[in-house]
Chain A
Amino acid sequence: EAGVTQFPSHSVIEKGQTVTLRCDPISGHDNLYWYRRVMGKEIKFLLHFVKESKQDESGMPNNRFLAERTGGTYSTLKVQPAELEDSGVYFCASSVSSGANVLTFGAGSRLTVL
């Protein structure tokens, strides 16, 4: 079984530019989560999809961040325009159900904003 795949693994952009991160969850996993770890701090929740619907987006920092999951398969997280404080590692995770079950994480996408 293929795991959670994230792309790109590392992106370096300048302040003001746009970046789109992609996550391919495990096939059949309806639940998809985005998290972010900034500067070695705690991993913070961004949002949660159930299929194509946003179940919880309480962790999205501001309107420069846009997450989509068209068709309920892969998801994208766009940052536009990027700011210096957006630098960090963005993790995606998926799970079969949204109960107290195990989340499977991708390797993360490291974003560096210069």
Chain B
Amino acid sequence: GDSVTQMEGPVTLSEEAFLTINCTYTATGYPSLFWYVQYPGEGLQLLLKATKADDKGSNKGFEATYRKETTSFHLEKGSVQVSDSAVYFCAPSYLNQGGKLIFGQGTELSVKP
């Protein structure tokens, strides 16, 4: 079935470091792609999305580009802050599956001052 693979965590970075969290998905369709984030003690929040090839989603300094040729949607941020510490989830959504999200295992990010 459809699936998504994220790089394993935890990822520990120093403040202002560059962040990349890799995400690849199965290509049995043409999904929309999402990154959700869960801050400590909170629920899942949408971080960014992209709905077609070569689209770039961006929010709060984070970016991800929909790469159809490599079936990837890697999350990047040029300079992380302590407040970015959270668990990040990559999730494609297939229109023919009622819009449900298929999540990866999540990548925990810890940013140290």
Contacts and interface: CB of A to CB of B under 8 A. Distances in A.
B89 interface: yes
Contacts of A113: none
A35 B103 contact: yes
Given A95-B99, A100-B51, A43 B93 contact: no
B42 interface: yes
Interface in A25-59: 31, 33, 35, 37, 40-45, 48, 50, 55-56
B106 to A, nearest CB: 7
Contacts of A11: none
Interface stretch (A13-21, A62-70, A80-88, A101-109): A101-109
Contact of B106 (A43, A48, A91, A99): A43
Nearest to B43: A107
B101 interface: yes
Interface residues on B, range: 20 to 34
Nearest to A33: B100
B95 A99 contact: yes
A107 B42 contact: yes
A103 B104 contact: no
B98 interface: yes
A45 B102 contact: yes
Given A105-B44, A105-B45, A107-B42, A100 B99 contact: yes
Given A107-B42, A107-B43, A98 B104 contact: no
B32 interface: yes
Given A45-B102, A105-B45, 12 more contacts: A31-B99, A45-B103, A48-B99, A56-B98, A93-B101, A95-B99, A98-B99, A99-B99, A102-B46, A102-B49, A103-B46, A108-B43
Interface of B: 31-32, 34, 36, 42-46, 49, 51, 89, 93, 95, 97-106
